Structure 1
Amino acid sequence: MAEALPEYPDSDFSDDDLSPLDITFNKAADHVRKLTSSLTNNQLLELYGLYKQGIEGKCEAPKPGWLDGRGRRKWEAWRSLGNMPNEEAKQKYIALVQRYAPELAELSEHNETGMKEAWVAVSSMRKSPEPELVHNELSILDAARENCADRVTELLAKLPELRHERDDDGLTALHWAADRNATKALQAALDGGCPVDVADDSGQTALHYAASCGHVESTDILLKAGASLLKDEDDCTPLDLAADDDIRKILEGAK
């Protein structure tokens, strides 16, 4: 399970020195520690990225090495937020925590008026838009990451060139779907003609991602689609990076 938050540094500021937004943000962050056992890995990664963006702004940290699978996924969750302003990240973080823990709306009533007003203002500002609108705004990479198979199929049918769409690190829709174990989107991308053995900027294919993350289903889907056990720039195959014995058995059987 990924860590939702880093350790908090000791602060020299009291609540009196903080804005209502920061007070509520800190309250939400404190509560996340109580939720970690009930949240999925992807939910924790999303929280982690928003927290880091809210505290530090745009990700300028170097990308962790490929053997540090958990560190790489946390880095990607943060970096995917790009230039999102700190305040917007904090607002989204608060709204997300409240979605996972509705009782926080009640807890805020027992605090100072400023905190209560900040919580209400943020949650009302961040109501989810209509599902159809969200669906229509997703890029091919976002759709793959969020496991929106219908959107992947739709985009590839309209714009076949998106089969080769990459982010700044060379990740395609297949890489993102494999990384998140978004199996429906992964299959949709393959059915739409995305090349199965395309490599990112480090020579890693989607199979490297699925194997290093321990995603059995995604690994199986990619192998059935003809994925090869290619070497990356560090001379590592997906088998070399396999996260557990189940993945190793599947890959060894594909040799």
Structure 2
Amino acid sequence: MAGGHMKYRHLSRSSSHRQALLRNLVTSLFKHESISTTWHKAKEAQRLAEKLVTLGKKNTEATRRRATQIFFEPNELVPKLFGPIRERYANRPGGYTRVLRIEPMKEDQAESAILELVDGPKDMRFAMTAKTLAHYGSRKFFAPGIARSVKQVTQFRENGIQELQSLISRMRVVDRLDKDRILAGPRKVYPEEKMKRDMHYFEEVDEGVRPNKLAPGRPRRRPRAMLTGREQKGKQDVVVEGRKEGSPSQKRQETA
């Protein structure tokens, strides 16, 4: 409708291309349970992923056929959707996926994000909460924000408190072993030095000095226009004599 509000993100693609993109993202999400993509693609794929989990919770013949139409790998993912994933979210009223912003992954600085299934083995917020509690040590009281995060990640997770405590203990052991580890520096988004080498830029030299000097031992050839008159004449004489001596027509005349 002209002048109406956009109901969804077009993602600069045609309708068929957009649907194929979202189906591909959702297939990867349910296969790996966590994917990294741009922020806008993640928000659009999240809508389709939420609908798929709702279809899995209904568990009817019609919903199975609909899920088969969406997945690119239905033989592998339809049993997973109507099996472990449906049991995982049986008591959860909604919010089966989560989008977390991360630093840009591409050199064009596009907004990036992680799209994941909550309460799964790759739940990022669950791991971040456990890491925060591992650094706190054995304290009896925590800040209200940490207590709220603990409730969010364990409320609908089966044996959530026990899994959180075991993960905290493992992280404390790892921190104790890797206490003196030196982390790598931040990754350069724009490797300027490599770009200069690939683009063959001129080297930075002082004023009055020729850049890109030739390697020693290699003779420098001057263009024909830069040769003097005597050099050009001598070169022509050598070429003409060579042609007269080795020309095929001269040899045929001599043999005849």
TM-score (norm 1): 0.27
Higher helix share: 1
**With CA pairs under 8 Å and 6+ residues apart, which has the higher RCO, 1 or 2?**
2
TM-score (norm 2): 0.27
Higher strand share: 2
